[in-house]
Amino acid sequence: MKKNKLFYLPTLLVLAIIVFEMSSDIYLPSMPEMALFFGVPDHQVVLTISLYMIAFSVMGLVGGSLSDHFGRRPVYLWGLVIFALASLGSLLAPDIQTLILFRIFQGMGAGISYVISTAMIKDSHSDEQCSKLFSIMGMAIAISPTVAPILGSYITSYFGWSMNFYIISVAAFLIWGISQLFIIETLTLEKRQQLNFKHSFKTYGLLFSKLSVTGNALISGMTYGSLWAWITLAPFYFIDTLGQKPQDYAAFGAIGPISYMIGALLNQLLVTRYGIPKMLRLGLTINIVGSILINLVSLYFPQSIPLIVITLMFFCIGLAPVFSNAATRSLDVPASQLGAASAVLALIEMVLAGFYSYLVGWLNNGTLYPATLTMLLSSVGCVALYWLIRQNKKYQGNKVSS
């Protein structure tokens, strides 16, 4: 029975992640209407997104430590309960302040469960299997900003903006109920830690001081942030600068995430044969070349949509092998620290994604440069970090041998 439930585990975890992601992305087209409904400035509605992300990333740190002590399953399920109840609260919120409050609680619940999901995968699968599963998780994360806003725009047109929150509430309670039945415990009793917040902070300090953990997490986060830099800026460029209609932009908006999913599928097919290090280097190489090409297109052929599309696809295909394999390497820690390491990874990924989105929006000047330069600098930074990690590993090896 346990073996059968282990088979379902990755699917349930990925479905939960899709719901977490869609809880924000699905109502993005509805925000102007929501501002009118509540009678508030637009920036107050935007707080429902930004504060969700902050709560998501911070609570991951708490959830990781709790799961190292109490086990993965109970803490994961409590995260789902918090998310589901907060989803219902968001649906019933009478004013923007209440909605913001429940969105914060949503982020807290999602952050707890998300970070534990990566630890559960690492607990129960080999490195190669982890890389494949993290690729699938990356696909789930990548597809939401493409599909959810399109879905949400049609839902809002026919049923009103609140229907988006109704759908998320139903999905949240459904995922919680199914997980209650099928999610298994992946951390055995002998591998658990005593609950000690002083020790937890010490563990986090130790993990942040490890270049293999923070370096690989930064590589994964900068890769994820690069995708969000494009997702954030592209609508302004295609619609405002190139004059595309919003409904026509949907096809262009899907290019980045779909290309990422192609890269994720290739990583799944090839990682067992070639190994994590080679696939990581391949992804880094594609990112460097792709970011250079898309910057050249932005400079010399800024009106050429076909060239923009081709170079973007090439760049995004390389993101998946970097994202998934760097994430796998950042979790190469003792089992007792895995929950905390997962929290560090999720924190860095979410903070960088939020920072990149804000940065390119702030720098938006009607061109693609804020996004493409961010993509190039991030690619160079990832290569530099990869080199530093390798040099540090060689140094540590020579130190031990001597």
Tokens of 386: 């990869």
Residues 262 and 321 in one domain: yes
Q: Are residues 269 and 203 in the same domain?
A: yes
Tokens of 334: 């003792």
pLDDT value, residue 7: 57
Q: What CATH number has the domain bearing residue 112? A: 1.20.1250.20
CA distance 402 to 400: 5
Q: With beta carbons less than 8 A apart as the criterion, state whether 246 and 239 touch.
A: yes
Mean pLDDT over 60-86 rounds to 86
What average pLDDT does the segment 362-383 reach?
90
Full DSSP string of 353-376: HHHHHHHHHHH--SSSHHHHHHHH
Instruction: Determine the Cα–Cα distance for residues 175 and 169; give it in Å rounded to an integer.
Output: 10
Mean pLDDT on 367-377: 93
Please state the length of the chain. Answer: 402
pLDDT at 310 (0 to 100): 93
Question: Which residue type occupies 354?
Answer: G
Q: Quick one: 212 and 314 in the same domain?
A: yes
Of 369, 266, 360, 257, nearest to 316 by C-alpha is 257
pLDDT confidence of residue 138: 67
175 and 217 in a single domain? The answer is no
Same domain, 158 and 278: no
Examine residue 138 and state whether it is found in any structural domain, yes or no: no
Of 136, 155, 183, which residue constitutes the final position of a domain? 183
Are 120 and 224 contained in the same domain? no
* Token pair for 143: 């597809």
In a domain, 140, yes or no: no
pLDDT in tens, 193-249: 776 667 777 888 888 888 889 999 999 999 988 887 887 677 667 767 887 765 566
Lowest mean pLDDT among 102-106, 155-159, 236-240, 260-264: 236-240
Assess if residue 194 is contained within a domain.
Answer: no
- Domain annotation covers residue 142: no
CB 16 within 8 A of CB 80: yes
Q: Of residues 111 and 340, which shows the higher confidence score?
A: 111
Q: Output the pLDDT for position 152.
A: 78
Q: Which amino acid is at 280?
A: L
Residues 67, 152 contacting (CB under 8 angstroms): no
Q: What is the pLDDT of residue 46?
A: 66
Residue with tokens 């109920």: 177
Considering the domain architecture, whether residues 2 and 67 belong to the same structural domain is answered as yes
Residue 193 within a domain: no
Mean pLDDT of 94-98: 93
Whole-prediction pTM value? 0.71
The 10s digit of each residue's pLDDT in 263-282 is 888 888 888 888 888 999 99
DSSP 16-85: HHHHHHHHHHTTGGGHHHHHHHHT--HHHHHHHHHHHHHHHHHHHHHHHHHHHHH-HHHHHHHHHHHHHH
Q: Which of 144-148, 179-183, 227-231, 251-255 has the lowest mean pLDDT?
A: 251-255
Helix count (H) and strand count (E) of the chain?
Answer: 15, 0
Averaged pLDDT, 109-129: 80
106 and 208 in a single domain? The answer is no
Does 191 fall in a domain? no
Residues 81, 158, single domain; the answer is yes
Q: Is 29 left (phi over 0), alpha (psi -120 to 50) or beta?
A: alpha
Residue 137 lies in a domain: no
Domain of residue 226: give its range.
199-402
Q: How many domains, the chain?
A: 2
pLDDT by residue (tens digit) across 346-365?
788 878 877 787 777 778 78
| Three-state SS at 360 | helix
As given in the structure block, the two tokens for residue 60 are 């991951």
Band (pLDDT 50/70/90 cuts) for residue 399 is: very low
Q: Are residues 179 and 206 in the same domain?
A: no
Rounded mean pLDDT of the chain?
A: 82
Q: Name every residue whose Cβ is closer than 8 Å to that of residue 311 and which is 6 or more positions away in sequence.
A: 290, 293, 294, 297
Residues 173 and 311 in one domain: no
Q: CB 381: neighbour CB atoms within 10 A?
A: 13
User: How high is the pLDDT of residue 70?
Assistant: 83
Q: Please indicate, yes or no, if residue 347 is contained in any of the structural domains.
A: yes
- Examine the domain organization and report whether 235 and 363 are in the same domain: yes
